[in-house]
């Protein structure tokens, strides 16, 4: 079972940082869902440290195309 607390903290942190850097991104942008699913997979693979998940989330979003 995945511990939701580190995942939720990481998703919220990543999304806040990403939106601060990309002010034109809407809060409901589909990239948040994509990133959350990506991090969910990391959690299932036993990566559950908030800092580590945050790094994976930021790296993932940086690799996505500008238009999703």
What confidence score (pLDDT) does residue 1 get?
43
In the numeric block, the tokens 């440290």 are attached to 49
pLDDT the model gives residue 44: 80
The residue among 67, 26, 48 whose CA lies nearest residue 18 is 26
Q: What is the pLDDT of residue 48?
A: 73
Q: Are 11 and 57 in contact (CB under 8 A)?
A: yes
d(C-alpha 62, C-alpha 42), whole Å: 17
Q: Where are the domains of the chain?
A: 4-63
Q: What is the pLDDT along the chain (68 residues), one digit of tens a residue?
A: 456 889 999 999 999 999 999 999 999 999 999 999 999 998 887 777 899 999 999 999 999 887 66
Predicted confidence at residue 42, as pLDDT, reads 87
pTM over 0.85: no
């Amino acid at each position: 079972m995945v511990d939701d607390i580190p995942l939720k903290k990481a998703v919220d942190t990543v999304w806040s940082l990403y939106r601060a850097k990309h002010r034109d991104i809407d809060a409901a942008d589909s990239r948040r869902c994509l990133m959350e699913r990506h991090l969910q997979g990391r959690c299932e693979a036993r990566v559950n440290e908030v800092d580590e998940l945050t790094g994976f989330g930021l790296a993932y979003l940086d690799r996505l195309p500008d238009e999703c």
